[in-house]
Amino acid sequence: MKLIHLTDLHLVPPGAMLFGFDPAERLRKTIERINRDHADAELCVVTGDLTDEGDPASYELLRDVLQELRVPMRLLLGNHDYRANFLKAFPDEPRDENGFVQSVHESSAGRLIFLDTLVEGSGHGSLGGGRLEWLLARLATSDLPVYLFAHHQLQPIGLPHFEPWNTENWRHNMRAIVGAGNVRHIFHGHVHVDVGGTWSGIPFSASRGVAHQIIPNFVRRDADFVEDAPAFDVALIDDDGVLVHRFEVSDRHVVEISAAGPRPETVQ
């Protein structure tokens, strides 16, 4: 299965700018690249911070821009989102019995579970209010591998800047997730850096996202924001494993091998 992972779009109302750039334009270019090179993907999952301030105009713009995407999509909420305004623009997005934007997709590779970690008015995430119990019930009923998607990191990423913005009770949550025994990968957003690794044996990956980025710093609590090229991940999943490739939406030039280095027969 081929799957696209997009994150942190941070759209603002039409005509507005964010840090001097246009997030909608960055998203349009990203969608053009996905349509050109990866229209065969089974699903595109957007892991939250769909908008920067959760306002109705930004969600309406998002709905318009996403109409160009040729891959079926699933939208998650981040700490910059606002549930009620999102649902006005996307009334058909599935919710759980408590009103959280959480759902399941049975894919050709196994069960995909989409989590709602938003705590409105806060930067940190949560699986409170019945969300962890909802997740564990769906892990318990899957005979196939499970892939989790969330905005907030469910595990820490080693950057002091993000420690206040982790998912609350993350260690308790992760121990329960590990205990289920069938989670094969966690895809998340929120951190605006490229990072991947494992936590107690469960692999995770996060993309630096479509809007602004952060320079990783392992000491400082504040952060330097930068405008790198938009990025998205392509996950290739089969019975043997999960591959995550990162693509940057920029103009690249293919170099002539003969001009870039020694000819193969001259290599020592």
**Residue 95 beta carbon to Fe ion: minimum distance, rounded to whole angstroms:** 22
Alpha-carbon distance of 38 to 43, in angstroms, equals 10
What does each C-alpha distance from 190 to 78, 82, 110, 162, 166 come to in angstroms?
7, 15, 25, 9, 9
Burial of 36 (0-12, 13-18, 19+ CB in 10 A): exposed
Using the contact rule CB under 5 A, the part of the chain among 8-16, 29-37, 135-143, 157-165 near Fe ion is 8-16
Nearer to Fe ion, 8 or 233 (CB): 8
Helix axes 170-180, 131-140, angle to 10 degrees: 10
Subset of 15-74 contacting Fe ion (CB under 5 A) = 49
CB of 87 to Fe ion, least distance (A): 20
**Contact with Fe ion (CB under 5 A): which of 8, 52, 81, 233?**
8
Site size toward Fe ion, by CB under 5 A: 2
CB-nearer residue toward Fe ion: 45 or 183: 45
- Distance linking the first and last C-alpha atoms of the chain: 41
Residue owning tokens 């090179």: 37
153 or 155: whose CB is closer to Fe ion?
153
Give the footprint of Fe ion on residues 169-208 (CB under 5 A): none
For residue 35, the minimal CB distance to Fe ion (Å) is 24
Span from 4-12, 18-26, 95-103, 214-222 in contact with Fe ion (CB under 5 A): 4-12
Q: Which is nearer to Fe ion, 8 or 96 (CB)?
A: 8
Region from 7-15, 199-207, 221-229, 248-256 binding Fe ion, contact rule CB under 5 A: 7-15
Residue 5 backbone phi and psi in degrees, to 5: -115, 110
Binding segment (CB under 5 A) for Fe ion, from list 5-13, 18-26, 82-90, 95-103: 5-13
Q: Is 130 left (phi over 0), alpha (psi -120 to 50) or beta?
A: left
Of the two residues 13 and 145, which places its CB atom closer to Fe ion in the complex? 13
C-beta closer to Fe ion: residue 8 or 116:
8
Least gap, CB of 153 to Fe ion (angstroms): 12
What is the smallest separation between the CB atom of 43 and Fe ion, expressed in angstroms? 21
Contact between 96 and Fe ion per CB under 5 A: no
Closest to 192 (Cα-Cα) out of 168, 157, 218, 239: 157
Token output for 180: 């289920």
Q: What is the DSSP string of 95-108?
A: --TTS-S-EEEEET
Q: Which residues contact 102 (CB under 8 A, 6 or more apart)?
A: 94, 95, 96, 113, 114, 115, 116, 131, 134, 135
Q: Rounded to the nearest whole angstrom, what is the least distance from the CB of residue 191 to Fe ion in the complex?
A: 8
**Which residue number, 126 or 242, has a Cβ lying nearer to Fe ion?**
126
Residues found near Fe ion in the complex (CB under 5 A): 8, 49
